[in-house]
Amino acid sequence: MDHTAISLIQLGAVFFGLGVLGRLAGKIGMSPIPLYLVGGLAFGQGGLIPLGDIGDFTHLASEIGVVLLLLLLGLEYSAAELVTGLKRSWMAGLLDIVLNAAPGVAVALLLGWGPVGALVLGGVTYISSSGIIAKVLGDLGRLGNRETPVVLSILVFEDLVMAVYLPILTAVVGGVSLLGGAQAVGISLLVITVVLLVALRFGRYVSALVDSKDREVFLLKVLGAALLVAGVASAMQVSAAVGAFLLGIAISGSTAENATKLLEPLRDLFAAVFFVVFGLNTNPASIPPVLGWAILLAVATTLTKVATGWWAARRQGIGKLGRARAGAALVARGEFSIVIAGLAVATGKVTPDLAALATAYVLLMAILGPVTARVVEPVARALQRRRPSTATATAS
């Protein structure tokens, strides 16, 4: 059988398998990300049935998956919403960085992975999964709750932090000099500032440029613009993912809504390939030695995210039940954590054990996050009901 036929069979098996895993995840009410990672582990190096040479396609497809993930995330926000969210949540955002990056930094240093490993693992434990959180809030009917704008503001702040963090990470793991790293960060900040100004003042022109009544033309223009901007951003030492995110911000109104509906299936397809590729590149045998650390990080960062959401909601005058829901909503980690680990591991500048730890950690948090969001309200209500009876018993 020739190489093309074998590749088509393998790709077909991968896509069909992803569909089965996605359906299974939907039936049990969880994010499909953990199952995609497990699928990659099963068919990658050291897995049950290693796949053949389809690396060129899957590598490019995974890169497109990251671009589409960030593009659609940017489409969810307008520039004005970003600025408002930044003003509202900057104190909570700073607390979020300190509380949730610190456990990852500490574990990396304890394991002897050095400053570069600490920078990477701190980012992995810091960033929440916007995709999982948005889905959970929608599934639970909490999009209209008082605490939800607080949660979204923190997520917006995290996205902006990523716009600065990713160029720094790319420079550091790429072995760029201190001057080169400073230049990369300076260019990134300049690009972000310019795009936000353009989006605020001329966003309607950007939207008009990519808009079209013809679905085929619209799809080609939006996808082409996203890949073009991502490529130019990468050439300028700014993360390709950040470039796509900024393009999403610049597109607004009905154009953004239509682009989201049109691109969602493509995003889901290529993002699934991205998670599978990360799993393919991780040896399952490397996970057991770091599983204890992954569990420790999962417990610690669940508590720190809950504390972040509680404090931020309290500052907005929200009651205890809403504070608990806000904290629990932020727990999930997912796509961004894997993006960070993937960027670092691909350079060969960090230990492969980091990929194993990140995989185990995201598997735990992608499951724990939705579960925590679902159970926090009944648990909090049960505790509230018990307190009056406890107080009465004590008084008597």
Q: Would the pLDDT of 186 be above 90? A: no
Q: What is the mean pLDDT of the segment spanning 75-91? A: 72
Interatomic CA distance for residues 335 and 280, integer angstroms: 16
Interatomic CA distance for residues 21 and 299, integer angstroms: 26
> Could you give the percent of the chain with pLDDT greater than 90?
20
Q: Which two structure tokens, joined as six digits, stand for 40? A: 């990659």
- Output the pLDDT for position 305: 96
Interatomic CA distance for residues 362 and 125, integer angstroms: 9
CATH number belonging to domain 32-47+67-381: 1.20.1530.20
| Cα separations in angstroms, 314 against 83, 145, 147, 311, 322 | 21, 14, 9, 5, 9
Q: Would the pLDDT of 79 be above 80? A: no
Domains of the chain, by residue range, sit at 32-47+67-381
197-248, pLDDT tens digit by residue? 777 777 778 888 888 889 899 999 999 988 988 888 777 666 677 778 778 8
Interatomic CA distance for residues 113 and 14, integer angstroms: 34
